[in-house]
Amino acid sequence: PAQAVEPAGTEERPTVQVGVLARRGTAQAFKQWGPTIDYLNEAVAGYRFELKPLDFGEVHQAVRDRQIHFFLANPVYFVDLEHNHGVRAIATLLNRRLDQVTAEFGGVIFCRADRKDIQHLDDIKKKRFMAVDPLSFGGWTAGKYHLFTKGIVTERDCASMDFGGTHDAVVYAVRDGKVDAGTVRTDTLERMTQEGKIRLEDFRILDPQKTPSPFPFQLSTALYPEWPMASLPHVDAALIKQVTVALLQMKPDSAAARAATAEGWTAALNYQPVHDCLRELRMPPYTDYGKVTWQQALRKQWPLVAGLLLILVLALVFSFRLKGLNRQLAGTLDRLDDELAQRREAEAALSNFKQTLDQVHDCVFMFDAETLRFIYANQGAVQQIGYSPKELETMTPVDVKPRFTDDSFRQMLAPLMHGDKDATTFITDYRRKDGQLVPVEVMLQYVKPDDTGRFVAVVRDINERLKAEKEKEKLQAQLLQSQKLESVGRLASGIAHEINTPIQFISSNVDFLNDSFQSLAKVVEELRLALKGAETADLTSLAPTRTALEEADWDYLAGEVPLAIQQSKNGLERVSSIVLAMKEFSHPGAKEKIPASLNRIVETTVTVARNEWKYVAEVTTELAPDLPMVPCLTDEMGQVILNMLVNAAHAIGAKLGANPEGAKGSIHISTKALTDGVELRLSDSGTGIPQAIRDRIFEPFFTTKEVGRGTGQGLAICHDVIVEKHGGTLAVESEEGVGSTFVITLPLQQPAAEATA
């Protein structure tokens, strides 16, 4: 067939010819690439695509005569066409090899694993070497260039240089000892191993390479991009875009992908490494690179040659006079050559710079300082934002940033233009062409390479980062709550003891009151009988009453019963205060900052943690009565004070040792108001912090406590809560052997970035 299957009703549609290098014949080309043409006919509306197989001799003629619109070829042929005819890669094939997908390939240089005399590339000198074919890029050119960069030329340095014709033949020749070393395309050794033809462990890879991203096959050389789909210069940009989008959307399980033994297509890779390889090896299209014929020189410099001839004729007449002019002319020519060389270097540098920027995934924009219109956008920006470079030329950053107006945006730019700031970074949203809002981080800088100023903006999609930060906040909250529950559990036995003591003397007082009531009840009963006897003038009934009153010991009860009642009330108040403090400490706080009393948080925490410090220290407080309310996360602030209070008690306990013999240290907590915030100081008379580790105490998982007593998370959480979440400061003053003071400052207002987030 001359073309792929054509949908009905396409007679009116323009025909698009897709050329393909038919290196294995026309039938194989249609079998491999025909389904791709079918796919394009379905995916790209308004055009009829046809496949045009071409042999090696027909390619250049077809491109010159515009017989084709797109072209499929190996990297070597593409580079030749790019250099000579200006074709441009629009997509790179994602090749599927041995269930692995890669858009790059290279060469592997190897020998038998039992060759102890060949360990490195230099060892192949004076040895027999074999490659696949002089025209095989993966089977020879890539390896040849790699050896060339190592100073090895096989034709000069090896005992023999042969070609096996196929990749398998080269592998067998090395295995069977017919040659000492060889080179084939990547994946050859793995494929033959999978087919059972060889064992991979029988071979040694020479100069194995490590790539920045994982590469699934053995590799000795640099990586080079796979086959590209290229467009010719005369093809309409809209059609190129449609074809590019269609190729990038090709599914791995589609008929087109399966026929091409591919996973689909990816954005066009950089083919400059192929150019570099062929240029250094002086292979087409760089066979005559660096050579200049006299015809080229004459065509390029004929005005100069004519001028020199004229000068030569005049020099015969005015030789003495023109000596000075000749010297001036020579100087001018040197300057022109220097300027020309500098211009070429600048153009090459600019081209390389643009190619580099196009490889960057972040969006890079440049816009005019006066009009704000975009001057430049890299490929990452074009792909992410959805507008074409031509559309962006008529737009400004305000058109894609809904949070800004023209006035507010210029107001933000003013400090940069006036030199007050070198650069600014901020977080905002940009609106894609499809209307989707994307959170981004923008780094903006003003540059003025000449009289015209411009802004350069690097825009990074932070959608995933924001998700990660939210997840981090969630995990931190879980960790804080876990530590808080751990603290509650650790304090539970102490709190139970604190409650048990007043409950015991309340119980004893209740028993005493019960016994006293029984005695008083007996006295009251006798008084009732005595009153009844008095009514009948029977005074003998007063004797039992007197006896009951003496047994009840009324004088003792009159003094002790009120005391027992007061003691019971005091005990109940103590229990009530402990329970209330525990309730306030363990109750989950609000997720947002609320105005709270820092003094109350201190008092609650001291009460809850009493059993942690009462045996080793006396706690004193000096809390400012006029302390203003502080916006904070109350439960997290309570955890901070608890962590530092417990650490202080442990430090004092470590100083006192196992047998303190009644000696106690001291812990002092004070608060005071500052101009724009509050300060809390917690001092202890413990061991102090050694100077050598003082800078590390806020690091996560760093602890000096013995195993089982510290996780190293306490002070790290304190630092995170105070500094990161509240915009405050946390500092330590310490003297080893004397004690430490932790100083917390908290602002009365939220940080600006948090308030406007």
User: How far is residue 74's CA from residue 20's CA, in Å, rounded to a whole number?
Assistant: 9
Asked whether the beta carbons of 90 and 247 are under 8 A apart, the reply is: yes
Q: Which of 584, 672, 577 is nearest to 623 (CA)?
A: 672
Q: Is the Cβ–Cβ distance between 392 and 430 less than 8 Å?
A: no
Q: What is the DSSP string of 551-594?
A: HHTHHHHHHHHHHHHHHHHHHHHHHHHHHHHHHHHHS---SS-E
Angstrom distance (rounded) from CA 673 to CA 675 = 7
Phi-psi region of 730 (alpha: psi -120 to 50; beta: other; left: phi over 0): beta
Q: Which CATH superfamily is domain 105-221 in?
A: Periplasmic binding protein-like II (3.40.190.10)
Which of 189, 215, 221 minimizes the C-alpha distance to 202? 189
- 389 cis-preceded (ω within 30 degrees of 0): no
- 362-461: CATH topology: Beta-Lactamase (3.30.450)
Find residue 686's DSSP bridge partners. Answer: none
Q: By the 8 A CB rule, do 365 and 397 touch?
A: yes
Distance from C-alpha of 495 to C-alpha of 273, rounded to nearest angstrom = 73
For residue 541, give both structure tokens.
């009934």
Which helix (H) or strand (E) segment holds residue 682: the answer is strand 677-684
Q: Please give the full DSSP string across 373-423, using - where no structure is assigned.
A: -EEEE-HHHHHHH---HHHHTT--HHHH-TT--HHHHHHHHHHHHTTS-SE
Assigned token pair, 567: 């003691």
The SS3 call for residue 330 is helix
Q: 15-100+226-280 has which CATH code?
A: 3.40.190.10
Q: Which of 109, 128, 131, 129 is nearest to 120 (CA)?
A: 109
DSSP string for residues in 692-750: GGGGGTTSTT---SPTTT--S-HHHHHHIIIIIIT--EEEEEEETTTEEEEEEEEESS-
C-alpha to C-alpha distance for 330 and 355, rounded to whole angstroms: 37
Cβ atoms of residues 264 and 95 within 8 Å: no
Cβ neighbour number for residue 721 with a 10 Å cutoff: 22
Token digits of residue 163: 């070609």
CATH number at 589-755: 3.30.565.10
- Which pLDDT does position 326 carry in this prediction? 76
341 Rama sector, left if φ>0, alpha if ψ -120 to 50, beta otherwise: alpha
* DSSP-assigned letter for residue 139: I
Q: Which residues of the chain have pLDDT under 50?
A: 1-10, 493, 707-708, 711-712, 752-757
pLDDT value at residue 18: 98
**Residue 671 and residue 627 in contact, taking contact as beta carbons nearer than 8 Å:** yes
Q: Is 244 exposed, middle or buried (0-12, 13-18, 19+ CB in 10 A)?
A: middle
Calpha distance 338→206 (Å, rounded)? 44
